[in-house]
Structure 1
């Protein structure tokens, strides 16, 4: 039982960190584009990340835990990485390429987290699967802007 609780909290924390990465990245990138269709897609994705993040926070609290989220260093590194990659190129293509790569990394993180915490509750596993499916779908949608 303790194993399941630990796996559950760890898997939920992985969802929190993954969704924060997506949400924070999109909040930084949205103002960089004037492409109306692209911006609409980014805002849609940001809203889904926010919703999944809230669900994970609620589930962690229901288990008696507290979400840690991304470390300040991880947030800083991501912000600086985006700033460097967009310093000379804020084209839709470049932004879409960066986000496509990020979505792919998010999918990999979901797969690894599921393997790392096999004893998590079914509801938590479904939440991770929804996040993974959303990121795969996002990657495909972003490819039209490459």
Structure 2
């Protein structure tokens, strides 16, 4: 159960961070097509956040495992603000999002590969989330 909670917790925190970052990106861009892509991805993160939260609750996860650390959110906001002040080009914002998603892909790929539990619901959810992250990266590449 510990392995499942760790995996779900990481997905949950990533979704929390993703939706928070994308809200901030939406405020920083004027590109309509980019905004549509970011909005759709934000909705996916919101859904992943809800589902992973429900799954964590069903597995009686401790509360501290349920949110991205405030310092991480703050640092992401500062990075967006810094880069936006330098250059608000869509390509720079897309690049930042791709970098964040790539970190999520790397972490989730490792966890899926190393998973030795028996909870197929968690493993299937993790694999779906991995595919979403990879799709998000592909969609953002057209804005580079």
TM-score, scaled relative to structure 2? 0.91
- Counterpart of 1:75 in structure 2 is 73
Task: Please give the residue correspondences for 1:35-50 in structure 2 after superposition, counting only pairs within 5 Å.
Answer: 35-50=31-46
Shifted more, 77-86 versus 10-19: the winner is 77-86
CA distance in 1: counterparts of 2:116 and 2:15, whole angstroms: 20
- Counterpart of 1:123 in structure 2 is 121
Deviation at 1:80, TM superposition (A): 1.5
CA distance in 1: counterparts of 2:15 and 2:114, whole angstroms: 18
- Counterpart of 2:17 in structure 1 is 21
CA RMSD, Structure 1 to Structure 2 (Å): 1.4
TM-score, scaled relative to structure 1? 0.90
**Matched residue count:** 142
What SS does structure 2 have at the residue aligned with 1:86?
A: helix
User: Structure 1: which 5+ runs fail to align?
Assistant: none
Contact in 1 for aligned 2:53/2:66 (Cα 8 Å): no
Deviation at 1:7, TM superposition (A): 1.0
Deviation at 1:118, TM superposition (A): 2.7
Q: Which runs of 4+ in 1 moved over 3 A?
A: none
Deviation at 1:106, TM superposition (A): 1.3
Deviation at 1:68, TM superposition (A): 2.6
- Counterpart of 2:109 in structure 1 is 111
- Counterpart of 1:97 in structure 2 is 95
What SS does structure 2 have at the residue aligned with 1:132?
A: helix
CA distance in 2: counterparts of 1:45 and 1:130, whole angstroms: 14
